[in-house]
Structure 1
Amino acid sequence: MTTPGDQTEARPTTKSPTEMRRLLSADMVERSGCPFDPPSGLRERRGQGPVQPLKLLNDAPGWLVTGLDETRAVLSDSRFSSDRVRHPGATQPQPNGAEQMAARAVESRTDGMFVFMDPPEHTRLRRLLTGQFTVRRMRALESRIREIAVEHIEAMQAAGTEADLVPAYALPIPSLVICELLGVDYADRAEFQERTAIALNSNAGDQERAAAGLELYAFIQELVAAKRAKPADDMLSGLVHDADPPLTDAQLIDMALVLLGAGHETTANMLGLGTFALLEHPDQLAALRADPALLDTAVEELLRYLSIIQMGVSRVATEDVTVAGVKIAAGSTVIIATPEVNRDPRHWSEPDRLDVHRSRTPHLAFGHGVHQCLGQQLARAEMKVGLGELLTRLPKLRLAVPAEQVPLRNEMLIFGVHSLPVTWA
């Protein structure tokens, strides 16, 4: 008899969200001028309605949603599918033929990429993960986040008076938190961080990133085997031993990779870009320094104002649906313009202004509906602690180069900065 870990499966290929960028013109995804504003192609569409026709480069029928209420409607409607295996033609640069799409539509999902699934498959896997994000575990992690932040600030200070904040601070915090969640041994964390950094580094060559990705996959595969043999008090051990029916190795590895991508890259870029935004808005930075109690609202405002998930949130209409009086035909790709959604003037006054005093508002930086980010409270804690410690311990923090020399991650799905040279002398 085979155990779940012994099963070998022909898993369907799930396209990366970065494929969505290839369906859009550059002005829709690349930020120019102010690095904190939405791309020019989005800004130019303001006032043209919350649901607009959108020309996709693969000639598939497309729609762009820019309104907050309309986005909630789409993301909470089961007639809009997240499954890019069953609906590949609408989300890939080269649509498949009708016969191939029909064949895929009846395939059974055997992978663990739950972010690209619909209920009921998505429901089961997400419920297993939700059960691992316990209040006790999150509270324990917050104190650990502070330890990690302080350790890295002290290391920067010991090395001099300048640093690149991205590799020295923004990247290590979420990476080490993921290590805590997955139960990576202390002895293996440097190796884990190194492979993760290369696999997620857009500056690395394709072959180098691919090789690092394979190594990371093998690393997590070994980690799963270790948790099967000797469980501990970590999230991966819980997924290995608490699921009924048991998860396969392939599912466990995929789920761990989803956690890694969602929890590592997003928070790292919010820490880097958020610091950049505060340094470029000295009045807001001064207000935050004067009243640290504003930190909670400042985190929410940065999430709304920056909206680093650019154009990767998409759905496919499985039948004709009317949204805001607009008929969206079955088979159409619907793309959520999160940077514009979070600046909907119907919900925010002066939406293009960063205001750390702004009362907490229901932005959609973490999505909405059944796919809403389940690690959002952890992300908030990482941002609150990371920014708070940085501004408290480095009161003279400022850019070490002119703002226009800070390299932006324009070519990536997750927007941010490649590096952020700072000084505190």
Structure 2
Amino acid sequence: MTTAEELELPVARKCPFAPPEEYTQIREEQPITRVKIPDGKEAWVVSRHQDVRTVLNDRRFSSDRFNPNFPILVKGGNVFRQTNAERTMITMDAPEHGPARKSVLSEFTVKRVNAMRPRIQEIVDGLIDEILASDKPVDLVEKLSLPVPSLVICELLGVPYSEHDFFQENTAKILKRTVSFEERRAAFERVRGYLDQLITTKEADPGDDLLGRQIVKLREEGNYEHGAVLGLSFLLLVAGHETTANMISLGTVGLLQNPSQLETIKADPGKTLDAVEELLRYFTIVDTATARVAVEDVELDGVTIRSGEGVLALGYTANWDPAVFDEPSKLDITRGARHHVAFGFGPHQCLGQNLARAELQIVFDTLFRRIPSLRLAVDVDDLPFKEDASIYGLYRLPVTW
């Protein structure tokens, strides 16, 4: 097998239900080690659960994607590297990061998300009505996985849902590692251009949506910047539908492949949130919890990471760390896996995690209650998994009942 020093990340998943062997080998043999990345440079990879959490919670590791040493896992570079005026909270460190996150945090509290639940339920029921009225088999990605989070985030942001095909087509290109840098950059600019115009329109007449409320709030505080809201809108739009959509598809497959686990939540929907946490851990749709660059020399478990060196926090192996999760290869919704790092950890932990949990819970409860005989229409080995994308998932999910 390739040694860690010869390995280039990311590694494609050969099995949808387990990390690549190379990742497991790193965690077991060289949990903090150097690897190659697509731009030809090297970066540290941190693979154990505790070490990943340490890196993500330590201010000596920076989130600044403008740093030339920040590790990028796609060839050609980072298409998201905008102008400084459009920097988003995920690119910021303290003290900038706290105020930027706090400004929008109230939109994603448990209380605010609970108030959205009836509308999410309405969306899910409407889509399942359409599924039940359709000819079989049905592509669940097209009919449910993508529309649910897309509708929710579009309504939340005040973006017309009629543009969802445009956003999904271009987002897919941005996130696909096999697409050239030039194509990914062009897709990014198309989405950015649309949002730029949308925000200009909202500036003249802010509506009662997240972007409108941000414009009003920041103006009242005297620190409104068009570019900052543009960056925020892009971040939330992309993150708000692509990740949850993939988890709906993968979670459905995971439950169908583990019928005893599925029967547990059918019998007691109160256990669905536990199932959601376990599915998030089990699939870990983004291999690296995120990347960082050291801004000071840091000693971690006897290894010195020098200032200016890039670090990849390998969330997939962290979430399958047997020192933390007994029998990690087993899907077990009773394990109580809330200390996973599928949403990251520390100050940059996923802003929209409460919304994602609510969407997943409502989808799984409703889908299996209303279509209890749901099953795959093809063998699992014939499903088109996203082995070439930065966010793992499924391109299509044919189901029948």
1:95-110 pair list within 5 angstroms: 109-110=84-85
Contiguous gaps of at least 5 residues in structure 1: 1-22, 97-103
Paired AA for residue 18 in structure 2? D
What TM-score do the two structures reach when normalised by structure 1? Answer: 0.84
Inter-partner Cα distance in structure 2 for 1:358 and 1:94? 38
CA distance in 2, matches of 1:180, 1:422: 28
Picking from 150, 161, 170, the partner of 1:189 is: 161
* Aligned counterpart in structure 2 of residue 304 of structure 1, from 281, 297, 300: 281
1:218-272 superposed Cα distances (whole Å, 9 cap, x missing partner)? 3322321232222232211121111233332222111111001111110000001
Residues in 2 aligned to 1:259 and 1:205: alpha-carbon distance in whole angstroms: 22
- CA distance in 2 between counterparts of 1:59 and 1:74 reads 23
Q: Distance in 2 between matches of 1:193 and 1:212?
A: 14
**Structure-1 separation of matches of 2:110 and 2:353:** 13
1:353-384 C-alpha deviation (Å, 9 max, x unpaired): 10112224311111111110111000000100
Unaligned runs of 5+ in 2: 1-5
Give the 3 Å change call, closer, same or farther, for CA 89–165 of structure 1 in structure 2.
closer
Letter paired with 2:104: L
Q: CA deviation at 1:59?
A: 5.0
8 Å CA contact 2:27, 2:48 repeated in 1: no
Q: Distance in 2 between matches of 1:137 and 1:93?
A: 36
Q: Which amino acid aligns with 2:117?
A: E
Count residues with an aligned counterpart: 387
1:284 is matched with 261
State the one-letter code of the partner of 1:72. R
Other structure's SS at 2:343 match: coil
2:31 is equivalent to residue 25 of structure 1: no
Give yes or no for the alignment of 1:319 onto 2:319: no
Greater CA deviation, 306-315 or 145-154? Answer: 306-315
Are positions 1:53 and 2:34 aligned together? yes
**AA in 2 matched with 1:390:** L
- Opposite residue 143 of structure 1, the aligned amino acid is P
Indicate how the Cα distance of structure 1 residues 180 and 95 shifts in structure 2: closer, same or farther if over 3 A, else same.
closer
Q: Is the 8 A contact 1:29 1:311 kept in 2?
A: no
TM-score normalised over the length of structure 2: 0.89
Quote the residue 1:199 is aligned against: 170
> Hey, what does 1:148 align to over in structure 2?
123
Does the CA contact (< 8 Å) of 1:61 and 1:331 recur in 2?
no
Of 222, 225, 229 in structure 1, the residue corresponding to residue 197 of structure 2 is: 222
Q: Is the 8 A contact 2:106 2:112 kept in 1?
A: no
1:418 aligns with 2:395: yes
Residue identity opposite 1:189 in structure 2: Y
Equivalent in the alignment of 1:176: 151
Find the counterpart in structure 1 of residue 386 from structure 2: 409
Residue 84 (structure 1) aligns with: 65
Shift of the 352–382 alpha-carbon distance from structure 1 to 2, 3 Å rule, reads: same
| CA distance in structure 1 between the partners assigned to 2:314 and 2:211 by the alignment | 33
Q: For residue 322 of structure 1, give the secondary structure of its aligned residue in structure 2.
A: strand
Residue 51 of structure 2, aligned match among 35, 46, 70: 70
- CA offset digits 1:76-126 (Å, max 9, x no partner): 111111112123464477899xxxxxxx9xx99322322122122222221
Deviations, residues 323-381 of structure 1 (Å, cap 9, x unaligned): 12211112211111111101111111111110112224311111111110111000000
Question: Aligned Cα RMSD in Å?
Answer: 2.7
The secondary structure found in structure 2 opposite 1:72 is: helix
